[in-house]
Amino acid sequence: ERERLSRLRYTPSITLDGQKVELLANIEQPGDGPAAVRAGAVGVGLFRTEFLFMGRSGNLPGEEEQYRAYREAIDGMQGMPVTIRTLDVGADKPLDKAQPKDYYLNPALGLRAIRWSLADTAMFRTQLRAILRAAAHGQIHLLFPMLAHRSEIEQTLAQLHQAQGELDARGVAYGKVKIGAMIEIPAAALTVRTFLRYFDFLSIGTNDLIQYTLAIDRADEAVAHLYDPLHPAVLRLIAEVIAAADAAGKSVSVCGEMAGDAGMTRLLLGLGLRSFSMHPAQILAIKQEILRADTGKLRPWAQAVVNSDSPGELLAP
């Protein structure tokens, strides 16, 4: 099976009815790019930068160190786009393992991701400057996690503007970036039109979107049986975000675990998704599903799945 899949590595990912689908990698270390390309990725759809910051007992990476890491990620992708997500640490992803998770009452609802960045804007702009400088050397898509409020969008973009101004003042070269928002809070999915006004692209974080829609802690074994990607509420949010992005002519991808689940590929294609970002090990299995799919036939079926009160039954092969 492995050998058969590996023959698909250089096969373009196009459906039976000629729809091109972009398969991207989720990476966690700056040096992960080349292996992702060998696995068949045509870009990085999610570089989780938190691993640069974690486990250093408070000694955060400075602009130079971060710049070198982002450069390494870009150089490893040979001109392909790299989506760099700003820091997503906080209550539920402690910076330091010494920091007890239960220190917080509701870690997943606390100060994490963009909320953390906007609470420490000097740290945030250090990261933004490093990313902007790296963008002088390749195609960077800059992605912001966990946005929900319009005021957060405006504060985030103001910080980006300020970071550019700081580089201008220092006379340091930097590049243009496309900017995107993670859609991973139900409030963001329900107000997706606002996000489409501000951003060039969207990326749906299904791991958190499921957690927050269903009120199921994604890390709590005791409720893991209720963590259901096929809950009709989850599917409806995903379907509406994809449709709204399509209508606005902006690109949208899924970068949560759902994108790398071969059992979900036909449904996501049927909902109009044309960009999937996943662990590199999943890419060829997903490509195989894409090569067998006819999106014209999948579209009405996917709508029926979303409108059903038991989508799991319709999804069975």
**Residue ranges in contact with ligand PEP by CB under 6 A:** 46, 48, 88, 184, 205-208, 255-256
Residue 255 contact partner, candidates Mg ion, ligand PEP, none, CB within 5 to 8 A by sort of partner = ligand PEP
To Mg ion, the closest distance from the beta carbon of 316 in angstroms equals 28
> Closest CB to Mg ion among 76 and 205?
205
> Closest CB to Mg ion among 215 and 304?
215
Residues 6 or more apart in contact with residue 206 via CB below 8 angstroms: 184, 229, 234, 238, 254, 255, 256, 257, 258, 259
Angle at 195 between CA 105 and CA 156, to 5 degrees: 65
The verdict on 61 binding Mg ion (CB under 5 A) reads no
To ligand PEP, the closest distance from the beta carbon of 275 in angstroms equals 13
Tell me the site size for Mg ion, rule CB under 5 A.
3
To ligand PEP, the closest distance from the beta carbon of 46 in angstroms equals 6
> Closest CB to Mg ion among 25 and 132?
25
Per-residue binding string, Mg ion, 167-196, x by CB under 5 A, is -----------------x------------
> Closest CB to Mg ion among 73 and 114?
114
To ligand PEP, the closest distance from the beta carbon of 88 in angstroms equals 6
Residues 6 or more apart in contact with residue 271 via CB below 8 angstroms: 238, 239, 242, 243, 302, 306
Residue 153 contact partner, candidates ligand PEP, Mg ion, none, CB within 5 to 8 A by sort of partner = none
The verdict on 32 binding Mg ion (CB under 5 A) reads no
> Closest CB to Mg ion among 145 and 280?
145
> Closest CB to ligand PEP among 115 and 133?
115
The verdict on 205 binding Mg ion (CB under 5 A) reads yes
Amino acid at residue number 317? P
To ligand PEP, the closest distance from the beta carbon of 83 in angstroms equals 11
Residue 47 near residue 69 (C-beta atoms within 8 A): no
Rounded alpha-carbon distances, angstroms, from residue 59 to 92, 110, 117, 167, 251: 19, 22, 16, 23, 36
Residue 162 contact partner, candidates ligand PEP, Mg ion, none, CB within 5 to 8 A by sort of partner = none
